[in-house]
Amino acid sequence: MQKTPIEIKGSNFTLLVLYINNHDIDLINQSLHKKIQEYPYFFKNAPIIVNISALCNKANWKRIQEIIVSHGLSVVGVSGCKDNILKKNIIDSGLPILSESKNNNINVIYNPCIASLKKNQKSITQKIEKTHIVDIPVRSGQKIYAKDADLIIINNVSAGAELVADGNIHIYGIVRGRVLAGANGDITRKIFCTGLFAELVSISGEYWLSDQIPSEFIGKPVQIYLKNKFLTINSLS
């Protein structure tokens, strides 16, 4: 059967949210430069959503957008806009205005169907019946997605690599890339690793960047999971 020329489907994408909390163009530029220098592989060509809930119509959106793009980031949408004048400037720049969830968060895993998936938690849990195993190093720029499965990595994961699974993720090695478990909205999933240096860890859309991970767990064997909707980390040793 021949496919139709186009299709529109829901899917999973890794999206970061950049919060702009100041109107000062120079300060925004300096802060972005500093942050990107800390994590160059992580932010390289990264698609992002820009949250401007702290800004008013005095903000020079054109200059802010130019600065963000100049640092190699790709703006895919803007959230948190409360001012009609600023909203018009954003739309005129060719970007969409995105609505936020009730808890004022946009998940790092953006999925149009994620709300309905979470309502059907039982059926989601039952779907995870297989395991995807990788026993070679995962290099920078590689992305591995285990659909409806757990993911086991028996090797190291380089900075700039990305692991995504609808189920749990186990890493028997050092991980320096991004690790996202429960990508289909399953809040019961966990991340296990023997050497944590990750750029980002996420369970069902709740995430930490590397500087948010408690320092006492860096480089250690750990498990990461959700407890009362908050990320929690425990030592495995």
**Which CATH number fits the domain that encloses residue 127?**
2.160.20.70
Residue 26, pLDDT > 60, answer yes
Average pLDDT over residues 103-108: 38
Name the residue among 202, 198, 224 with its Cα closest to residue 211.
198
Q: Which residues contact 83 (CB under 8 A, 6 or more apart)?
A: 55, 56, 57
Is the domain of 127 the same as that of 101? no
Q: Identify each DSSP E strand in 32-124 by its residue range.
A: 47-51, 74-79, 97-98, 109-110
Is the domain of 215 the same as that of 128? yes
Q: Which of 106, 139, 170 is the last residue of a domain?
A: 106
Cα–Cα distance measured from residue 192 to residue 41, given in angstroms and rounded to the nearest whole number: 23
Cα–Cα distance measured from residue 27 to residue 64, given in angstroms and rounded to the nearest whole number: 11
The domain in which residue 130 lies consists of 123-235
Percent of the chain residues topping a pLDDT of 70: 81
Residue 222 lies in a domain: yes
Count: domains in the chain: 2
Of the listed ranges 35-39, 121-125, 149-153, 210-214, the least confidently predicted one is: 121-125
Is the domain of 78 the same as that of 162? no
CA 191 to chain centre: 15
